[in-house]
Amino acid sequence: MTDEDLFQRFRKGDLAAFQDLYARYRKSLYLYLLRSSPTEAEADDLYQEAWSRVIHAKERFSGGSFKAWLFRIARNLQIDSFRRQRLQLVPDSAVPAELSDPGPTPDEISHADDCAERLKVGLQRLPQEQREAFLLKEESGLTLGQIAEMLDVGRETIKSRMRYALKRLRQMLEDCL
């Protein structure tokens, strides 16, 4: 059964359908928020709030991809959270990459015990838009076209962000790959 079928059943009052849907995206949504939030506590709050929106705003779902809708809700919540914290998101195009993102420091890299930990640190060091593109691709499984539509940007823009993100991560994890 597709995500959309399960969600339609949940809209009609089928709790089991929601439980199935929740099981499918429980981990991926949480990891998306965890990797893109400054703290685990904030990730927990956003995670709960995102599912709460899905539960209560289910009538607003106008079809299409449930997965894209779910991750869009989570992303919008995160943007609101950033705004509340007065963290201004600066587009990549406005600031040279070298200045906006100096990359992981040697200390950070050397303190990472293994490659997985180094990857986590590397993700934290990525510019927000590159990290967002990478995480959406990895966690949601959406195509670049779906991500572009979700973020309301062109497909080439997403490809560019992904390209930069992968390039930086490869540089940081050179000896792990």
Query: Residue 111, interface with other proteins (CB under 8 A)?
Result: no
Of 45, 72, 77, the C-alpha closest to 60 is 72
Distance CA 169, CA 141 (A): 19
Q: Of the listed pieces 63-71, 76-84, 94-102, 160-168, which binds other proteins according to CB under 8 A?
A: 160-168
CB of 17 to other proteins, least distance (A): 9
Q: Which of 3, 4, 8, 22 binds other proteins (CB under 8 A)?
A: 22
Element (H, E) at 23: helix 15-36
Q: Of the listed pieces 64-72, 82-90, 92-100, 167-175, which binds other proteins according to CB under 8 A?
A: 167-175
Footprint of other proteins on residues 29-58 (CB under 8 A)? 30-31, 34, 44, 47-48, 51-52, 55-56
Chain centroid offset of residue 79 CA:
11
Alpha helices in 57-154 (DSSP H): 66-84, 97-100, 106-111, 115-125, 128-135, 144-151
Distance CA 38, CA 78 (A): 11
- By beta-carbon proximity to other proteins, the closer residue of 128 and 147 is 147
DSSP state at residue 101: -
Binding site for other proteins (CB under 8 A): 10, 13-15, 18-19, 22, 26-27, 30-31, 34, 44, 47-48, 51-52, 55-56, 115-117, 119-120, 133, 137-138, 144, 158-159, 162-163, 166-167, 169-170, 173, 176-177
